[in-house]
Chains A and B, each alone.
Chain A
Amino acid sequence: MSGAAPAVGVARPRVEGPAKVTGRARYAADVPMADLAFGIVVVSTVTRGRIRDIDVAAVQDMPGVLGVIDHRNAPRLNPDAGHFFGPDGGLQLLQDDVIPHAGRPVALVVAETLEQARAAAEALPVTYEVLPHDTDFSADHPAGRAAMALFDGPVDVGDVDRELAASAVVVRERYFTPEEHCSAMEPHSATAWWEGERLQAVDSNQGPFFIATVVATLFSLPLEQVRIRTEHVGGGFGSKGLCGPQLVLAVMGAMHFARPVRVTLSRNQVFLTTAMRPAIEQMVRIGADDDGRLRAIHHEAAFELSPLAEYIEGCTELTKTLYATPALRTRLTAVPLDILPPYSMRGPGAAPGSFALECAMDEVAERLGIDPLELRLRNEPTVGPASGLPFSTRNLVACLREGARRFGWASRDHRPRMRREGPLLVGTGLAATSFSVGAFPSTASITAEPDGTFTVVVNATDLGTGARTALTAIAADALAVGAEKVRLRISDSDFGPAWSAGGSRGTTSWAWAITEAAAKLRSSGDQGTVTVDTAQLLNDLPSRERHSYSAVFAEVTVDPATGEVRVRRLLGMFAVGRVVNPLMARSQVIGGMIGGLSMALHEEGVRDPVSGRHINADFAGYHISAHADVPDIEADFVPDYEPGIPMGIKGAGEIGNVGTPAAIANAVWHATGSRQRALPIRPDRVIEEHPLQ
């Protein structure tokens, strides 16, 4: 048993790859089911108001229609149900006639076939009393108030104003990022039914155990009576971290019609009803001495949210750890508007926060006339600047130096607008990042089977990232057997509590539980079944600054006559702890960097200024980088290890998204000499009147 070669650190393709490419893998909307009825969601076309009437009689006799659920006959829901940030009014669907935001579900039309349900949903007459709405976000909106301080709360270190007054240079700028949509390829789908006393559901989400707890609370059921499964998920990016409208409505359908009901959102509804990143406005002030040493950082971020639910876009979190500074002030402001409650999306807080901080750092380097790389190196902290805690490991410098070497940074002329190729301007830029890492309590159990194999049960979810493959390798090494001896079972709320796939903490949380269970099983002589819960172990973990790090380098071309920005090269060096599977880790961070590129240049939810509704809520209107936008991307890892977490892993989930937008924006400045402080960097923001001068 002991002779097995280690599986962690070996590049292996996804274990479910063949099933996916041959179509055998089933996503939530594909699972066959007898006696299935189909529900189509009807969403509000007004942004604020009341439902005057829903004329159910007009569609009741249409072919195949089983009925319509609306606020008059829907099961009553428990208002205490919520998510990470507390009760979430976004879950309270079909409870009253109030329309709090455009796209709010107002009815579920259920029929024998998908087509019949859709025809009736399209025909269903809904009339509204329209009330004035406010979807106009700005940092100085009068409704703004301090954000909830569950994390990324306000920090005051030293005397920011005095340090700024004493600084040789002070940069003070505002940065804007728009509403962005998670845009997972697989639309949200749920199928719910009753089996005796138990509510069953197959749902597309990022963590079935957590979702089961929400459903149980929402429908006032004991948790044991709820079972949620999630086999394959076609991407989440945050939007499937919540209990989605598809599941709430499918459960209502199963209750009302006493048969299995499937609800799949249309692409348009995915945009309108599942969580997005809020619009954000940030103010950054940085003061530095002549030699580049920072004296103060002041970072404030305001973001929009909905009065229905709390949320924190923790933009200032990385500002509290990335650079040494004697004075630091951070604030977060929340602005309630008539919008869908926003939620975590691809590097929440860190992706927009890093855009502001790292662009401002680039401006400091410009004012001082020093190399932006050198500026970062001169401000390496020895302890957390806000926390005073030591770093568990800190490998930012290695990322910066190795990245610079591979990118050829040393030969860069730091003055802007110096490189021209025909009609194009060429520039390069960089950004440094950190992303907080850790683990959350999870359970796992392992059974030693009579045939010498092991069944590992952990409530992990594989969003397509390769979690199955990674956890199989981790379990194999922890059990000191070959990966072929491990049978992994994931994504069933009956498997017990575990953290969801999110916050870049999935792999660390699940791996921890697996390694503990394996250790226990081995010490009991590889017999029977053991189950562990890591809650206590996590409590015992000493407080440290624990982060992964990266340095991202970008080269862009800009056509000043048309304003078109194209990224020619992207390079990311990452310190993400021990790399479990280099093949998939690389895919993950490259995917993240493409997400960052897309955020930098393309993604933008656009609202109609009159109606307040999203008007580009599909993939033709909401632009995500196309293949032709994606250059050669190099991504690699510096040796790194997290001492506090088993196997030394940190998690590479979201860090790829972070840093890339700032690196690109800084490269655009280097090419053109103009700062781009609003994303996306659209042609109309870049175009020059006299491009050839």
Chain B
Amino acid sequence: MREFAYQRVTQVREALTLVAENDGSRYLAGGTNLVDLMKCGVEAPTRLVDVRSLPLGGVREGADGGLVIGATTTNSDVAAHPEVRRRFPALSQAVLAGASGQLRNMATVGGNLLQRTRCAYFADPSQACNKRVPGTGCSAVDGAHHNHAVFGWSRHCVATHPSDMAVALAAFDAVVHYETLDGGGEIPLSEFYPPVGDTPQQETVLPSGALITAVSLPKAALSPWSRYRKVRDRASYAFANVSIAADLGVHDGVVRDVRIALGGVASQPWRARSAEAFLRGGPASFGTVPGGG
């Protein structure tokens, strides 16, 4: 049996200390990804530090009037929150487009951002995978990869980031807040996931041992009718082939500003900055879109 210790913590500092003490420690939130990976042998923590009793749950208004979503808020609670639905409908839609009701009741915001890729080779320890064991090679490059990255990949890894929620957060220029024993910090979501390069194992720029405490959103989106659209092989319970979170501010028939993020196409939510620049300041009509009619 693979034995591991399990500890429930109520203080952020306690959590940080336990994880800093021991290389084999992992934060456990909903467990919907971590426990699966433990079962298939990809993760083998020696200690799980359960963060669900930390005072990090819930959605509140920040000092600047923006929304602050605590790291342990469940995906279901995020999606159902009236202010999220009113100001950032694409975020609510994105969360609801993911997984299943049961999983969303368990899954948390912090865990969702840090969930691992669904590349099948990554989950199978008998296959070569640079992300799982750096330097062993990438089985997907010559293997089955029809759902892998189309942007930002390298020969070292062509995996995508699976989160729907993160795509909407990217479109809203969300910021990730964290704590470490040496103090806290914040990272814009657009910089949270570094380029793949030759280090696919480094999936985020979070300092080692850091605990995500919250994700914050600006006071308002560009519009109250942002949208999330997810294309997938079946109507529910499937990861995106491609998804899009879009927020369009229109004034007098002119695109004042626009934010577009794509999911399922890269190792990070992919901001379509050229498309945004193309649309910004132009007329808000179907004819603007190449190939549109």
Contact = CB atoms under 8 A, between A and B. Distances in A.
A615 B234 contact: no
A564 B293 contact: no
A119 B231 contact: no
Contacts of A63: 1
B292 A626 contact: no
Contacts of A693: 293
B241 interface: yes
Contacts of A682: 233
A627 B232 CA distance: 15
Interface in A557-599: 562-564, 566
Contacts of A689: 291
Given A116-B1, A609-B142, A692-B293, A683 B120 contact: no
A682 B146 CA distance: 12
A115 interface: yes
Interface in B262-293: 291-293
A682 B232 CA distance: 9
A354 to B, nearest CB: 23
Contact of A683 (B121, B139, B142, B233): B233
Interface residues of A, number: 36
A564 B120 contact: no
A627 B144 contact: no
Given A615-B120, A615-B121, A620-B118, A608 B1 contact: no
Contacts of B291: 689-690, 692
Contacts of A159: none
A255 interface: no
Nearest to B121: A615
Interface string B223-252: 000000001111111100100000000000
B234 A626 contact: yes
Given A606-B144, A683-B241, A562 B231 contact: yes
A628 B233 CA distance: 12
Contacts of B208: none
B102 interface: no
Contacts of B41: 122
Nearest to A562: B231
A564 B97 CA distance: 15
Secondary structure of the B contact surface, majority rule: loop
A616 interface: yes
A25 to B, nearest CB: 23
B234 A629 contact: yes
Given A116-B1, A627-B236, A690-B291, A683 B144 contact: no
B127 A683 contact: no
Contacts of A167: none
B120 A610 contact: no
B234 A608 contact: no
Contact of B120 (A562, A563, A621): A621
A566 B233 CA distance: 10
A606 B1 CA distance: 31
Contacts of B142: 609-610
Contacts of B126: 45
Interface in A667-693: 682-684, 689-690, 692-693
Given A610-B143, A692-B292, A566 B120 contact: no
B191 interface: no
A602 B2 CA distance: 36
A601 B234 contact: yes
A360 to B, nearest CB: 26
B152 to A, nearest CB: 21
B124 interface: yes
B143 A609 contact: yes
Interface residues on B, range: 20 to 34
A629 B238 CA distance: 11
A436 interface: no
Nearest to B100: A626
A557 to B, nearest CB: 11
A95 interface: no
A164 B75 CA distance: 61
Given A608-B143, A615-B144, A629 B121 contact: no
Interface string B15-56: 000000000000000000000000001000000000000000
A613 to B, nearest CB: 8
Interface string A624-660: 0111110000000000000000000000000000000
Interface string B154-186: 000000000000000000000000000000000
A626 B120 contact: no
Given A122-B41, A610-B142, A690-B291, A683 B1 contact: no
Contacts of A690: 291
Nearest to A118: B1
A629 B126 CA distance: 34
A133 interface: no
Contacts of A629: 234-236
Interface string B95-136: 000000000000000000000001011001011000000000
Contact of A615 (B143, B231, B241): B143
A623 B234 contact: yes
A611 B234 CA distance: 27
B1 A623 contact: no
Nearest to A627: B236
A616 B118 CA distance: 11
27 contacts: A45-B126, A63-B1, A118-B1, A119-B2, A122-B41, A562-B231, A563-B231, A564-B232, A601-B234, A602-B233, A608-B121, A608-B127, A609-B142, A610-B143, A611-B143, A616-B120, A623-B233, A623-B238, A626-B237, A626-B238, A628-B236, A628-B237, A682-B233, A684-B146, A689-B291, A690-B291, A692-B291
Given A689-B291, A692-B292, 14 more contacts: A115-B1, A118-B1, A119-B1, A606-B144, A608-B127, A608-B139, A608-B143, A615-B120, A615-B143, A621-B120, A626-B235, A628-B234, A684-B146, A692-B293
Interface of A: 45, 63, 115-116, 118-119, 122, 562-564, 566, 601-602, 606-611, 615-616, 620-621, 623, 625-629, 682-684, 689-690, 692-693
7 tightest A-B contacts by CB?
Answer: A628-B235, A628-B236, A692-B293, A615-B120, A45-B126, A562-B231, A629-B235
